[in-house]
Structure 1
């Protein structure tokens, strides 16, 4: 019988399948059997690679948070000074809100878990610290905290407003208001 070492991508497929499943059906619908079927792996691979459902969910959401932090870093690392940072924040809001619905859903599923369970709250706090550290390259800590919340709030509102999401000018105006005295 083959072990997990025979298929080095198996663990990665399981994590990707977990996130895909959560995006489509929510955390409540996750089971070892469903994830194994979606990842096209034997059911035994689930316990071989992960200590249990909590281990699988934490690792999948950690991967997701890392991916989202990398997007944030990609935008913010381009900025050289506050004016470019304001533009980067505006770009980021629109990229996140116009991006895959999957990311929006996964973010909300993670926040729901974090509202109930401390280990997920630690994960979201680490994600927020990373975001704020990037913003603090250009803004004071209080402004960075406000901007971090603004980015998520505006992105969520734009993504959920199917009728007429707010304009880039409105985003830019909100960013300017928070970042200037």
Structure 2
């Protein structure tokens, strides 16, 4: 009976709000970005999504399933931006600039993305299911980088993106954006 009622994230007869499941996932990311994973509850997510609290268990078996879906959506979205930037680069110099833009604008320029990344990394350090998400995310990033750089350089650039983003986010002193350009240049010219 449950299988007949639940198809593709919506139950039969619930056609009046076909985007509800997606809204819940997006709301979960918003709540995580403000309260962290440990402060994320069904009640907060339901309020953010403007859905009844009962909708949470209607669409998700529990908080872990919701978190996995939310972080999958987040990681895929970041990977898509990453891939588009790298695909738009027509040569190595444009690819270097795309990496700089990824660090300064897409990662460091978005506090929400930065917080969500760190929350996901923390979960991945403890939970294999989340580690699988980050591993797939890193693989997609390296694939995008390998459009312009050899695999070893792509791996170093991927680590640089993560490392510089963390350092720039947590440093109390304002950093010169030129240091990102210098670091990318040094790794890609080696």
Same fold (TM over 0.5): yes
Find the partner of 1:163 among 155, 159, 173.
Answer: 173
Distance 1:39 1:150 in 2: 35
- 2:135 is matched with 125
- 1:95 is matched with 105
Higher mean C-alpha displacement, 154-163 vs 25-34:
154-163
Deviation of 1:3 after TM superposition, in Å, equals 5.2
> What is the TM-score when the length of structure 1 is the normalising length?
0.92
Higher mean C-alpha displacement, 77-86 vs 56-65:
77-86
Higher mean C-alpha displacement, 3-12 vs 33-42:
3-12
Distance 1:110 1:98 in 2: 16
Structure 2: where are the runs of 5+ without partners?
Answer: 1-11
Distance 1:163 1:177 in 2: 23
- 1:178 is matched with 187
Contact 1:96 1:155 in 2 (8 A): no
> What is the TM-score when the length of structure 2 is the normalising length?
0.88
3-state SS in 1 of match to 2:56 = helix
Structure 1: where are the runs of 5+ without partners?
Answer: none
User: CA 1:73–1:67 in 2, change beyond 3 Å: closer, same or farther?
Assistant: same
Deviation of 1:159 after TM superposition, in Å, equals 2.7
Q: What is the aligned residue count?
A: 179
- 1:17 is matched with 27
Distance 1:91 1:40 in 2: 35
Mapped pair 1:149 → 2:159: yes
Distance 1:39 1:167 in 2: 37
* Cα RMSD, aligned residues only: 1.6
- Which is helix-richer, 1 or 2? 1
